[in-house]
Structure formats: structure tokens, C-alpha cells
Amino acid sequence: MADVHHETVFFSGHVQGVGFRYSVLQVAKEFEVAGYVSNLSDGRVQLEAEGSAGDVSTFVEAIHERMHGYIRKVERTNRRREPQFRGFVIK
């Protein structure tokens, strides 16, 4: 199987208890991406997304645009790897 672009993204700010994960799930439906979004115990939200580099990048930008009032900081790391996800879910 061909490698895909993968990003791990941490969103900080007022990102829990505001429908953030549900909004990310809705945005994911607009892109050819797979992965998940989950709350972390330290108050951040973690996003794992894979697909084409363009789709993943545009997906993360769309999340930031939709939820910008809640996000204080975004930390992104990316790499190429074998696909590990099917579909997009909330964890």
C-alpha cells in the first residue's frame, strides 16, 4: 500500500465542552481524510488525520477557520507512513 500524509495536531484553548470534536467530525466529511479526534486529560484536543497532503492540510485549516474563536494554539507534526485508519471518528 502506498504511503499517505499523516498529521498529528493538538488544539489548545477553550476546545472541550463546546462541540469541538463534533464540529471536526462534520468538517471531516468534506474531505478525503481518515483518522480521529479526541479530548485529552490536559484540556487539549488531539487530531490524527491522514490522506493526501493537500486534503489533510486544507482539512486542518478548515477546522481552524470554523473554530477559531476557541483555539489559542495549534501544534502540528506531519510525516509519511502507511495508512492506519478507515473513516473518521470521535474517540
For the sheet containing 4-13, what is the strand order?
71-81, 4-13, 45-51, 33-39, 88-90
Catalytic one of 39, 44, 66, 78: 39
> Could you confirm whether 39 is annotated as catalytic?
yes
> Could you confirm whether 79 is annotated as catalytic?
no
Task: Report how far residue 8's alpha carbon sits from residue 81's, in angstroms, rounded to the nearest whole number.
Answer: 12
Catalytic positions: 21, 39
